[in-house]
């Protein structure tokens, strides 16, 4: 590693030292290139070892076990919005009453897409279909999840960047915007361990979301609680519940809550869930009835059997995930710390949960991603965590430590910090 | 049964005989009511015995069997449009090249809904989104499938009834309409054993569909081949393939083809498939990429294992279904034949496959359904097989023989023919 060269801020080096620093880093980079690496840190995918934790999923359902608790044959048609016991089970995950839960098939992204497409074609709670409006705007806390932004862009919405603070999105800005502009129809949120920043929204922020009074009556908070049980620490933060807070102020129609088992059991055949108010649910169910006769109930049953119908078992299961991935987060954080901290060129998150580390180095994100790629390390594209792929400061890179092995990850991080140093030195030298 | 009373046409009876006939039927009806029946012939659901044919589905996948042929881990994210071997397998069902197949999750209705919602929000092959147009019309051969019509109605389309002939929809009418009116954007078709008529479109009709030259360039044939392998006879009809015929005339972009395993394995956790031209598929895949990361690949693998990766096994499997349901169709047809034929009050289909018998008795459908309901026999609602639920002649009833046991079915049919006689006599007496 090149860290012996200096332990001072890069910006404080004189020209000669900086040139030497860059030359050393480039030499090291050439060595990496010579290794013909093929490493992928681009997406938040569980590793094969994590998937092995759920191997029983494949054969835990016995051939005579196809009936729901109410006697319903899960093999046949029917049950639009999920088995009663599945609603009960997942109500624990969403922190709402089982009667406010819908249970679907694979992929919560698919359900978020669906909920938004319904708003586009048929409106929200009897309101004008969004597709009929001259303009629809959507608020996007940044950095955020690229696939959220992609859905809004696909539907032709104008996305408005909202800065993220340490306790969540800038609520002053959100409150002001939604009160003024009725073309603003919603906001994307990942309230716990945000993607990619790892931000845990504070109770104060959640209460302000719950109490929002948008000018648009069909404004919806798309509350993607993708990482609500995905902790990396032993004593995870406890967070206020949006629906509960919204109910307290008579505003429960404002939120659509989503979650899934994708990063709990198998991403390839998980279960997506949604929670909404009675009024929203009645309307959404009616819409859903045109789109399907029902989702995969056998897979709902399979999940219930795997967890022995006990939500506590899911929590225990998540601790096994933590044991596998926390060391990987440590590798990333330790490497950044030991290699970059003294140089003063970048900052990064140390999340308590979720799947990502957010890395910032102003003006250097594209260059770093490109350098890594040319050395065989694939990262999420620079800019991906911003609407339209445009990071105004070209600073943010999302690091996904879970999929590679620890050895691969260390290697990839060595390439990464080397690339970050080169990019920083190049930038300083103009 | 009341069949001893007469063996003449009801319309030829004198007043006295007719009054006696009605009185006898009503007496018999009261007896049925006294039995407190609870029978359901409303939907095309497989019976538990049919589902038992696929019990191996639940445990045929072994815990170390989660990799696709190319080594891909089906437990994880990825593979938007289906496993290569699943495309290969289902290409046999759709009669197209595997490269033109997409494989999804449960429910082809969901995929048809999706394809139409994409047309609504984002258009077809770069065309104007249908939601932006002042009017969208959709052609609906009648009688047809209520859930097809419901999707069009949900999206606010104006549905245009197209009469069905014995060889398929009235093509003269379709050709004329689509050539003149560019607000007509598509047509719903169930080409083999149509729902509910059991009509097998002739090769001539299919060739005319394939060669359609609609004024609207974004016109699409929604070809729902739901019953393509669901034969009730030993030597089923062989049908021309729409895609193949369309390719011959350079018109392959006109069709979206759909099918599913819902009535092959388990309706509750089946696989939906779609076939389309290269151009359509490229566009649809791009759209799908915003809606999901991928469907349930483990369930795709499970289906392949169940059929031992051999499409011939699926065909053999369908023969077992036939053995279970052909006797039920015989019960319906024999009862209608022996009880109603001589009376000259109704006609019905004798399908070679599919899930329904279509029954017609002009001016009496609502009354019959109501009488049956009051005697504990639930039928599909009268009018359901027409857009907006409006059967202009109040004549069509869809009979679904598959779900009840043979004993239940015979009982339900006894109630049905009795109700049909009462309705006919009441109508004649004015």
Tell me: do B305 and B335 sit in the same domain. no
User: B271 pLDDT exceeds 80?
Assistant: yes
Give pLDDT, residue A6. 53
Nearest to A75 by CA among B298, B205, B262: B262
Helix residue spans in B66-106 (DSSP H): 84-94
CA distance A168 to A202: 7
Once rounded to an integer, what is the mean pLDDT over residues B7-31?
95
- How far is the C-alpha of A161 from the C-alpha of A138, rounded, in Å? 9
Question: What distances in angstroms separate CA A333 from CA A9, A371, A413, one per listed residue?
Answer: 19, 20, 9
For testing contact with chain B, the best of A45, A72, A103, A106 (most B CBs within 10 A) = A106
CATH number, domain at A151? 3.40.640.10
- List of chain B residues whose C-beta atoms are within 8 Å of the C-beta of residue A107: 292-295
Q: Please state the rounded mean pLDDT for residues B194-215.
A: 98
Q: Identify whether residues B300 and B250 lie together within a single domain.
A: yes
Among A250, A283, A309, the domain boundary falls at A309
Q: For the residues B242-246, what does the mean pLDDT come to? A: 98
Q: Residue A54: its chain B contacts at CB < 8 A?
A: 75
pTM over 0.90: yes
**Å from B259 to nearest chain A CA?**
14
- Taking only the tens place, the pLDDT of each residue in B134-163 is 999 999 999 999 999 999 999 999 999 999
Interchain pair A59, B63: CB under 8 A: yes
Question: Are both A266 and A330 inside the same structural domain?
Answer: no
The residue of chain A nearest to residue B146, with distances taken between CA atoms, is: A290
Mutate to test the interface with A, among B290, B302, B303, B306 (most CBs of A within 10 A): B290
Q: Chain A contact for B128, CB < 8 A?
A: no
HEC-encoded secondary structure of chain A = CHHHCCCCCHHHCCHHHHHHHHHHHHHHHHHHHHCCCCEEECCCCCCHHHHHCCCHHHHCCCCCCCECCCCCECCCCCCCCCCHHHHHHHHHHHCCCHHHEEECCCCHHHHHHHHHHHHHHHCCCCCCCHHHCCCCEEEEEECCCHHHHHHHHHCCCEEEEEEEECCEECHHHHHHHHHHCCCEEEEEECCCCCCCCCCCCCHHHHHHHHCCCCCCCCCEEEEECCCCCCECCCCCCCCCCHHHHHHHCCCHHHEEEEEECCCCCCHHHCCEEEECCHHHHHHHHHHHHHHCCCCCHHHHHHHHHHCCCCHHHHHHHHHHHHHHHHHHHHHHHHHHHHHHHHHCCCEECCCCECCCEEEECCCCHHHHHHHHHHCCEEECCCCCCCHHHCCCCCCEEEECCCCCCHHHHHHHHHHHHHHHHHHHHHHHHC
Could you state, in chain order, the average pLDDT of each consecutive group of 10 residues for chain A (430 residues)?
A: 63 96 98 96 94 96 96 96 98 98 96 98 97 97 98 98 98 98 98 97 98 98 98 97 98 98 96 98 98 96 98 98 98 98 97 98 98 97 97 97 97 98 96
B3, pLDDT greater than 50: no
Does one domain contain both B134 and B261? yes
Residues of chain B positioned with their CB less than 8 A from the CB of A132: 131
Average pLDDT value for residue range B62-83: 96
Q: How confident is the model at residue B1 (pLDDT cuts 50, 70, 90)?
A: very low
Q: Among partner residues A43, A59, A296, which is closest to B105 by beta-carbon distance? A: A296
Looking at the fold, whether B352 and B210 belong to one and the same domain comes out as no
Whether B168 is in a domain gets the answer yes
3-state helix vs strand vs coil in chain B, percent to 5? 45, 15, 40
Nearest to A185 by CA among A224, A128, A246, A113: A128
Same domain, B159 and B239: yes
Show which of residues 316-345 on chain B sit within 8 Å of chain A, judged by CB atoms: none
Q: Which two tokens stand for residue B430?
A: 């004015």
Q: Are B298 and B67 spatial neighbours (Cβ–Cβ below 8 Å)?
A: no
- B202 in contact with A at a CB cutoff of 8 Å? no
**What residues of A are in contact with residue B285 (Cβ under 8 Å)?**
none
Same structural domain for residues B109 and B183? Answer: yes
**Which residues of chain B have a CB within 8 Å of the CB of A150?**
290
* Dist. CA A396–CA A381, nearest whole Å: 10
Summarize the confidence of residues B308-334 as an average pLDDT. Answer: 98
Residues on chain B touching A112 (C-beta within 8 angstroms): none
B65 within a domain of the structure (yes/no): no
Could you give phi then psi for residue B359, rounded to 5 degrees?
A: -120, 135
Instruction: Please tell me if residue A213 touches chain B, with a CB cutoff of 8 Å.
Output: no
- Name the A residues in 7-46 with CB < 8 Å from any B CB: 43, 45-46
Is residue A56 in some structural domain?
Answer: no
Q: Is residue A60 part of a domain?
A: no
Judgement on whether residues A218 and A272 belong to the same structural domain of the protein: yes
What is the percent of chain B with per-residue pLDDT over 70, rounded to a whole number? Answer: 98
d(CA A100, CA A83): 13
Residue A253 lies in a domain: yes
The predicted complex's ipTM stands at 0.96
Q: How many CA atoms lie within 13 A of A387 on its CB side?
A: 20
Cross-chain Cβ contact B113/A297 below 8 Å: no
* Neighboring chain A residues of B150 at a CB cutoff of 8 Å: 290
Q: Looking at the 3D structure of chain A, how many domains does it have? A: 2
Task: Find the residue in A nearest to B296 (Cα).
Answer: A269
In this predicted structure, what is the pLDDT of residue A119? 98
Check whether residue A279 and residue A383 sit in a common domain.
Answer: no
Considering the domain architecture, whether residues A302 and A372 belong to the same structural domain is answered as no
> Quick check: bond before A263 cis, omega within 30?
no
* Interface A-B: count of C-beta contacts within 8 A: 176
Of B59, B107, B293, the CB nearest to A293: B107
| Token pair of B14 as six digits | 């004198």
* Nearest to A224, CA basis, from A115, A321, A119: A115
Task: Give the CATH number of the domain where residue B369 resides.
Answer: 3.90.1150.10
pLDDT value at residue B6:
53
Contact check, Cβ <8 Å, A76/B151 = no
**Which residues on neighbouring strands pair with residue A168, listed in sequence order?**
A165
Give the span between the Cα atoms of A85 and A91, in whole angstroms: 10
Q: How confident is the model at residue B430 (pLDDT cuts 50, 70, 90)?
A: confident
Measured in angstroms, the CA of A290 and the nearest CA of chain B are apart by 6
Residues B400/B195, Cβ–Cβ less than 8 Å: no
**A residues 286..315 contacting B (CB < 8 A):** 287, 290-299
CA distance B73 to chain A (A): 8
CA A288 – CA A156 distance, rounded (Å): 23
- Same domain for A145 and A17, yes or no, is no
Residue B357 sits at the vertex; the CA angle it makes with B355 and B361, to the nearest 5 degrees, is: 155
A266 CB neighbours in chain B (<8 A) are 75-76, 298
Q: Cβ–Cβ of A77/B51 closer than 8 Å?
A: no
Q: Residues near A368 by Cβ (< 8 Å), separated by ≥ 6? A: A361, A379, A382, A397, A416, A419, A420, A423
Domain presence at residue A413: yes
Do B75 and A269 make contact, defined as CB atoms within 8 angstroms? yes
Full strand arrangement of the beta sheet holding A347-348: A347-348, A357-360, A396-399
Q: Among A254, A278, A309, give the residue marking a domain's end.
A: A309
Are the C-beta atoms of residues B301 and B68 closer than 8 Å to each other? Answer: yes
How far is Cα A381 from Cα A389, in angstroms, rounded to an integer?
Answer: 8
Q: What is the rounded average pLDDT for all residues in chain B?
A: 96
- Return mean pLDDT, chain A: 96
Here the tokens at position A203 are 């109770």
Same domain? For B267 and B352 the reply is no
Q: Give the C-alpha separation, A104 to A84, whole Å.
A: 12
In this structure, is residue B56 part of a structural domain? no
Integer-rounded Cα radius of gyration of chain B: 23
B71 and chain A: CB distance < 8 Å anywhere? no
| A151 lies in some domain | yes
Domain edge (last residue) among A309, A343, A360: A309
How many CA within 13 A on the CB side of residue B70? 8
Question: In chain A, which residue's Cα lies nearest the Cα of B287?
Answer: A154
* Domain containing residue A162: 67-309
The pLDDT, as a whole number, for residue A306 is 98
Instruction: Give yes or no for residue B285 having a pLDDT over 60.
Output: yes
């Amino acid at each position: 590693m090149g860290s012996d060269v200096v332990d001072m801020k890069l910006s404080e080096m004189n020209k000669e030292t900086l040139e030497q620093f860059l030359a050393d880093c480039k030499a090291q980079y050439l060595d990496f290139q010579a290794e013909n690496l093929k490493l992928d840190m681009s997406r938040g995918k569980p590793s094969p070892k994590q998937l092995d934790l759920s191997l029983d999923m494949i054969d835990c359902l016995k051939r005579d076990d196809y009936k729901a608790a109410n006697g319903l044959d899960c093999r046949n048609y029917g049950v639009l919005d999920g088995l009663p016991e599945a609603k009960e089970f997942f109500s624990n995950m969403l922190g709402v009453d089982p009667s406010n839960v819908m249970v679907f098939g694979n992929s919560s992204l698919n359900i978020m897409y669906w909920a938004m497409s319904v708003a586009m074609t048929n409106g929200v709670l009897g309101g004008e279909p969004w597709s009929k409006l001259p303009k629809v705007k959507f608020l996007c806390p940044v950095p955020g999840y690229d696939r959220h932004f992609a859905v809004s862009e696909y539907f032709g919405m104008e996305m408005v960047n909202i800065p993220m603070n340490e306790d969540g999105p800038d609520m002053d800005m959100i409150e002001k915007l939604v009160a003024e502009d009725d073309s603003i129809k919603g906001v994307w949120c990942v309230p716990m361990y945000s993607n990619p920043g790892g931000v845990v929204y504070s109770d104060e922020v959640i209460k302000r979301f719950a109490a929002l009074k948008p000018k648009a009556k069909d404004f919806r908070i798309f509350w993607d609680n993708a990482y609500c049980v995905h902790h990396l620490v032993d004593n995870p933060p406890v967070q206020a519940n949006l629906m509960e807070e919204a109910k307290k102020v008579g505003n429960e129609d404002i939120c659509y809550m989503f979650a899934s088992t994708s990063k709990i059991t198998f991403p390839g055949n998980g279960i997506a869930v949604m929670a909404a108010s009675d009024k929203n649910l009645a309307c959404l169910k009616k819409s859903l009835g045109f789109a399907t006769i029902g989702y995969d109930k056998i897979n709902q049953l399979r999940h219930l059997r795997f967890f022995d119908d006990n939500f506590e078992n899911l929590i225990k299961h998540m601790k096994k995930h933590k044991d596998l991935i926390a060391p990987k987060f440590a590798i990333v954080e330790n490497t950044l710390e030991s290699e970059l901290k003294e140089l003063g060129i970048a900052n990064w998150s140390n999340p308590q949960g979720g799947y990502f580390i957010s890395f910032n180095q102003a003006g250097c994100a594209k260059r770093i991603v490109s350098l890594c790629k040319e050395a065989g390390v694939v990262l999420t594209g620079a800019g991906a965590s911003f609407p339209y792929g445009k990071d105004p400061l070209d600073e943010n890179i999302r690091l996904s430590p879970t999929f590679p092995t620890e050895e691969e990850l260390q290697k990839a991080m060595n390439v990464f910090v080397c690339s970050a140093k080169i990019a920083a030195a190049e930038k300083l030298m103009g």
